[in-house]
Structure 1
Amino acid sequence: MDIVQSSDVLPPGLVSYKPEGYCVRKEFYVPAYDDPKIKGSSTPDLRTTIYWNPVVKTDSEGKATVEFYSADAVTSYSYIMEGMGENRIGYAR
């Protein structure tokens, strides 16, 4: 890791560094419901995580719409939404 010295005057013995970001993008499995064989399959969809998208973009008003198919298990769902932008972080549950 490279050390980046700050232009501010630092106390002796203190070094300021700014590490570069690191992200390994993972793919999230979503059944291809456009395929009639998958949409009409008798195999139940029992996924516990239904929707995950690391790049939901909002419009100029900060609004976005997401759509997804639910699983076949008869259950209730909970959600967690996290976001960041314009030097802010948001969280909803």
Structure 2
Amino acid sequence: MRRDVFVSTFLKIVGLESGNAEAIVDSVKNVLSSYKLDIKNLIGIGTDNANGMTGKNHNVFTELKKETPTQILIRCVCHSVQLAISQVCKHHLPENLEF
């Protein structure tokens, strides 16, 4: 009886010529290919909330989702909380208060 196994792992660090979505997606595809891993098996990515990774338009998540439409996005909880707190402080604390 065969059992499917999900693996969550750190695979590789690569240098990038550019930090735009296209360069990052190309690097992800190249690394997966070099390990003979099918991108169709990618079920999700974990990332910060940077515009190039998760922004409204052309970003890493939307580009990878074209290859694997069922993929999920897991945003960094710490970064999300920091952004929320920053917004609250911006609107509810005096501007000259430093924290």
TM score, norm. by length of structure 1: 0.27
- RCO higher in structure (CA 8 A, sep ≥6): 2
| Structure (1/2) with the larger helix percentage | 2
TM score, norm. by length of structure 2: 0.26
Task: Tell me which structure has the larger Cα radius of gyration.
Answer: 1
